[in-house]
Chain A
Amino acid sequence: MTNIYAALEIGTTRTVLAVGEANTGERLKISCHAEINSSGVRKSQILDINQATQSIKSVLREVERKQSLTGDKLDIGNAFLVVSGQHIKADPYQGTAPVEGSKVSDNDIDEVVDSSRRLALPKDRELLDIVDQAYGLDSLGAIASPKGLSGRILKLNTLHIHADANRINDARTAAAEAHLELREPLFATTCAADAVLDEAERRDGTLVIDFGGGSTGYAVYIDKYLVYANVIGVGGDHVTNDIAYAFQTTQSQADALKRTEACAVLGADRSASARVQVKGATPLIDKRTVSRRALDTVVNLRMKELMAIIRDSLEERDLLHRLQSGVVMTGGGAAMRGLDTLIQRELGLPVRTGRPIHVDGMADVEAPASFAAVAGALMFAHRNYERKPLISSLFKGLFK
């Protein structure tokens, strides 16, 4: 049986919808995807429901149009929501249970798992995920499988990832207006990590940085566990805003400068006197130039500061030196010129750009790192719902 899933990301700069399909037990393939520029979203939060609804409708139409070109008709009724933004928090929480008898049994493990789920969140928070880490037994830690071990108190460390419920509800409202039901909200950064990391990277220590338009999420994997995650409310939009302010351009001119000209490092190969052209807002306005050095300085200061924040938070938790596999960049911002070099300098770690490696259908995608989060969300769907079809109306081959 072919299972079909959809994942929606309402980002600050773009709204992405991807459809994945797989036969039960087989590897997932992304069969169709589309992205359009978002409107009504700032810093990963919806500020205008109507505009967000229009973005969702447009991207739905685009996916359905693309799908129809293959001769298939697809009616997407629901999708998993990929969420980002600085309102997302990951709180550690430890469940504990006394060991009944002298050795840890399955019942004891069930008890401690149950205990680790009891963190009560305030009413305005919505749980996105509970991620299990290692077990502990009395003074022993880092136990992968405690069954049969002797001890008194069994512990399970978890990360509770939760978000502002109002922000999720806003997305649901916008999607409902577009006749799309949203299923579980999923954390963009861990979705991206699921899509791009291999087993060795998870084991040896890797930092995944997901560069979004309105925020930057990062997650640390060590010994196969997600040990820390955080989101900073600074993203590619901030770089655009900085450029617009520095050179008195429109946001779209600044965005074009960022994408085509800016570099995150102040390299020796770029002449100090070189100038880059700012495209006129209209044909009637004279084109002008700005200093390349000044442009790079604006971007460098912003990205260097962002890396310093990440570095400080990792050092504070004694994690930085444990990242033997380095850094993997995902998200649309990962394409910024010189960003890998900057991260390498600031964090002292090797850097690579991530691409979804556990799904098919991404070979011809221009910037696969920017689809990592939706790919990870589709993987989640396939892992958890492969026996429960999600998309109600599918007429594959109807027009063949």
Chain B
Amino acid sequence: MNANSPLLLVGVGGAGSAIAHGVSRAFGESMRYVLADTDASSSRPGAPFILLGGDRLSGHGSGGDVVQARLAAEDSLKSFESALEGVRLAVIVTSLGGGTGGGATLEIVKHFDKRGVATIVFATLPFAFEGDERIRRARGLQSMISEASNSAVYVSLDKLIGDVDQMDLAMRRAVDTLASAVTLFWRILAKPGYIRLDPERVRKIVAKAGRGRFATVNVQGPNRSADAVDALARSPLLAAATGPVRSILCGILAGEDLRLSEVGCIAEGVRDAFGRRASFDLATVNDEETFTGRISVVVLLFESGEESDDADDEKAYPGGKRPSKRTKNPLAQGPQGRGRFNNVEPTVWNGEDLDVPAFIRRNITLDV
């Protein structure tokens, strides 16, 4: 493990620890990471592990109790001190819906913030079949984690697995997809290509990013750059916009055969698809061993950050749609009609933002 890396991967909770451990093993020795859970059985041989709330819960887990998990994390925050030495950016992987993933992550993120460590949280949301209660709990935690962290990316497990039905394949796909986004930060720094981002720029991007979403595509063949853009534009993982895209981080992972025209095609295509007004950061990763003959493109879209000066471009909005004159009116209510509730904590119930007028969410057309 590279103890001098400014990046730290943290897996929180049972699922978060499992994903983080899998990612670290797949990436290799240079990844600095730590796992944390209230359940002692989440520890892995040889992996750094912090038992949260050992005195309180005796390593038996939080029993799905978010409050207990928060208290357990509070008890153990000092245990992170050595893991945080020299760290500038922490990538936290967790799963919401149970107890520890959401509850402990919230406290850990707050603690990291106090220590001056920027945080980006990748959190999975429960499958629909797991029931309303878990989904409601996860939604409730989302807003708190978003507020506490520098940036947060939420993705439902239903979307992560796509149309794969077989259980083990589906879970592998979920972990692989998540890993591709999580490891982007390490790849950018560990194996930079000709277009580079230094650690402080990566930290700065994350520090202002806010709520985000991501997708990754793997393509090969003569039209691979155009195919990549097309696949990204159609990705359901990037579709759930709640507001304009403010910043884009795009990573192109390839071997020595990457052409300049391909980089240009992907960069232009991504900006066209997701917003020319958004600030745009691009990095290439040169990994001959892994990517020769194919390209992997990882795109993270965020809803905060600095806008570019290209304010009049039609493609500055999700789906390339400029808001109608109705929302440009001085009486405009903001995205989705939240109006006076913009910039306040949303009221979420069963996955719906109740600040948005009920008639809009029910698709009721009014004869005004």
- Please tell me the size bucket of the interface on A: 35 or more
Given contact pairs A91-B67, A237-B340, A241-B339, A294 touches B345 in the complex (Cβ within 8 A):
no
Contact partner of B357 (CB less than 8 A), chosen from A233, A241, A249, A291, is: A241
For window 50-77 of chain A, which residues contact chain B by CB distance below 8 Å?
A: none
Stretch at the interface among B83-91, B209-217, B262-270, B359-367: B359-367
Q: Are B347 and A232 in contact (CB under 8 A)?
A: yes
Question: Which of A122, A240, A251 has the most C-beta atoms of chain B within 10 angstroms of its own C-beta?
Answer: A122
Given contact pairs A43-B345, A245-B339, A291 touches B368 in the complex (Cβ within 8 A):
yes
Stretch at the interface among B164-172, B278-286, B325-333: B325-333
A206-248 to B contact mask, C-beta < 8 Å, 1/0: 0000000000000000000000000011100110111011111
Q: Are A245 and B358 in contact (CB under 8 A)?
A: no
Q: Are B344 and A248 in contact (CB under 8 A)?
A: no
Of chain A, the residue at the smallest CB distance from B326 is A248
Question: Is the C-beta of A29 less than 8 angstroms from some C-beta in chain B?
Answer: no
Chain A residues with CB under 8 Å of B287's CB are none
Question: Is the C-beta of B27 less than 8 angstroms from some C-beta in chain A?
Answer: no
Contact partner of A246 (CB less than 8 A), chosen from B344, B355, B357, is: B357
Of chain A, the residue at the smallest CB distance from B358 is A301
A/B pair count, beta carbons within 8 Å: 94
- Count residues of chain B with CB under 8 A from any CB of chain A: 29
Of chain A, the residue at the smallest CB distance from B67 is A122
Question: Is the C-beta of A330 less than 8 angstroms from some C-beta in chain B?
Answer: no
Chain A residues with CB under 8 Å of B331's CB are 244, 248-250
Contact partner of B339 (CB less than 8 A), chosen from A45, A120, A232, A244, is: A244
Whole-angstrom distance between the alpha carbons of A242 and B341 in the complex?
Answer: 11
Contact partner of A298 (CB less than 8 A), chosen from B67, B70, B357, is: B357
Question: Is the C-beta of B74 less than 8 angstroms from some C-beta in chain A?
Answer: yes
Question: Is the C-beta of A123 less than 8 angstroms from some C-beta in chain B?
Answer: yes
Question: Is the C-beta of B354 less than 8 angstroms from some C-beta in chain A?
Answer: yes
Contact partner of A297 (CB less than 8 A), chosen from B71, B360, B364, is: B364
Chain B residues with CB under 8 Å of A246's CB are 357, 359, 366, 368
Whole-angstrom distance between the alpha carbons of A304 and B358 in the complex?
Answer: 9
Additional A-B contacts beyond A232-B349, A298-B359 (7; CB < 8 A): A121-B67, A122-B67, A122-B107, A248-B326, A249-B331, A298-B366, A304-B358
A-B contact pairs, 30 of them (CB 8 A): A42-B344, A43-B341, A45-B344, A45-B345, A122-B71, A122-B107, A123-B74, A232-B349, A232-B354, A233-B354, A234-B347, A234-B354, A237-B340, A241-B333, A242-B337, A242-B357, A242-B359, A245-B360, A246-B357, A246-B359, A246-B366, A249-B331, A250-B331, A291-B368, A293-B367, A297-B364, A298-B357, A298-B358, A302-B357, A309-B349
Give the B-binding residues of A (Cβ under 8 A). Answer: 42-43, 45, 47, 86, 91, 120-123, 232-234, 237-238, 240-242, 244-251, 290-291, 293-294, 297-298, 301-302, 304-305, 309
Give the A-binding residues of B (Cβ under 8 A). Answer: 67, 70-71, 74, 107, 326, 329, 331, 333, 337-341, 344-345, 347, 349, 354-355, 357-360, 362, 364, 366-368
Closest 4 CB pairs of A and B: A233-B347, A242-B357, A301-B358, A294-B366
